[in-house]
Structure 1
């Protein structure tokens, strides 16, 4: 049975394992090993992830299936957002599902949870960055009403890539 729960400070190892495994599954075949290793070392270290988990403006959610961690999402508000955005915006910075658990509704469940969190916090927009060549993710986000509003650089190791910036309206609480 799938479950989505908010990660706690003690969940750093689970978040780290999911982060490395899902990022590697998603991007290793399209990037050099050196760039992957550098990105993981610089951006997914246990110390950095612990700081992110403990940041009051960031929330990690973990999706499990029968108690097995299957994916996760990180959302940011306020100063934790990776771009300068207004206070009425929430960022979906990371949303990854392990390949073995894809196509089971976990990503949709995490996204619906993010929209619910945004509504509860009075946010009017959600936004994210997605690699311009990640067609499945772009199609997924479009199903949730995201449209492209710009782009920014994303550095993976020593490789400068382009992320599309996408935004969606958050429907107000009824």
Structure 2
């Protein structure tokens, strides 16, 4: 567990965090993207990805590192480092890992916590012998794209991301650990 300059505590998630993590994942995903797809596709995506059982399985998976950001004991952000997922062909870096999810509560945006969480995620990647991170970000999410660019990520390609059956155009971004 580590305390950041922004007053957050960043720690590794454990199985007991699964219900709260699942609720926050769904809430923060909907806050960011509910407007981007119809209710049926968004609902299908949330149901398939953000339930407590799935989060418990991901928290127990040694190839996924889930970090939680907390303020005064309340979860305000999370990130997942996925070590086993192969990078897209446009990521031409060896020893890379995926930033599979990276979210903060809307009330926490602009407070510096996201940068601290990214640094903690990078430290986890370095500990596991990774030199590069890659991620997908929706092409119509300028705030997220600006954040990743400030963190040293560059656009290296495109990918399709499915929200239910709705195809979204994403950037593939890559940056150093």
User: What TM-score comes out, normalization by structure 2 length?
Assistant: 0.89
Specify the SS of the correspondent of 1:154. strand
Q: CA deviation at 1:121?
A: 2.1
Aligned residue for 1:3?
9
Aligned residue for 1:133?
140
What is the 5 A alignment of 1:39-118?
39-77=45-83, 79=84, 81=85, 83=87, 88-118=95-125
Aligned residue for 1:155?
162
Q: CA deviation at 1:149?
A: 1.2
Q: CA deviation at 1:31?
A: 2.0
Aligned residue for 2:40?
34
Question: Structure 1 residues 87, 16: closer, same or farther in 2, change over 3 A?
Answer: farther
Decide which of 125, 130, 133 is 1:123's aligned counterpart.
130
Q: CA deviation at 1:132?
A: 0.8
Q: CA deviation at 1:56?
A: 0.3
Specify the SS of the correspondent of 1:104. coil
- Residue segments in structure 1 that go unaligned for 5+ positions in a row: none
Question: Alpha carbon RMSD of aligned pairs, Å?
Answer: 1.6
Partner deviation per Cα, 1:108-138 (whole Å, 9 max, x = no partner): 1110111112222221111111011111101
Specify the SS of the correspondent of 2:140. coil
Decide which of 141, 145, 157 is 2:152's aligned counterpart.
145
Distance of 1:102 and 1:113 partners within structure 2 = 17
Q: CA deviation at 1:50?
A: 1.7
User: What TM-score comes out, normalization by structure 1 length?
Assistant: 0.90
Distance of 2:150 and 2:58 partners within structure 1 = 28
Question: Structure 1 residues 82, 51: closer, same or farther in 2, change over 3 A?
Answer: farther
Distance of 1:57 and 1:37 partners within structure 2 = 27
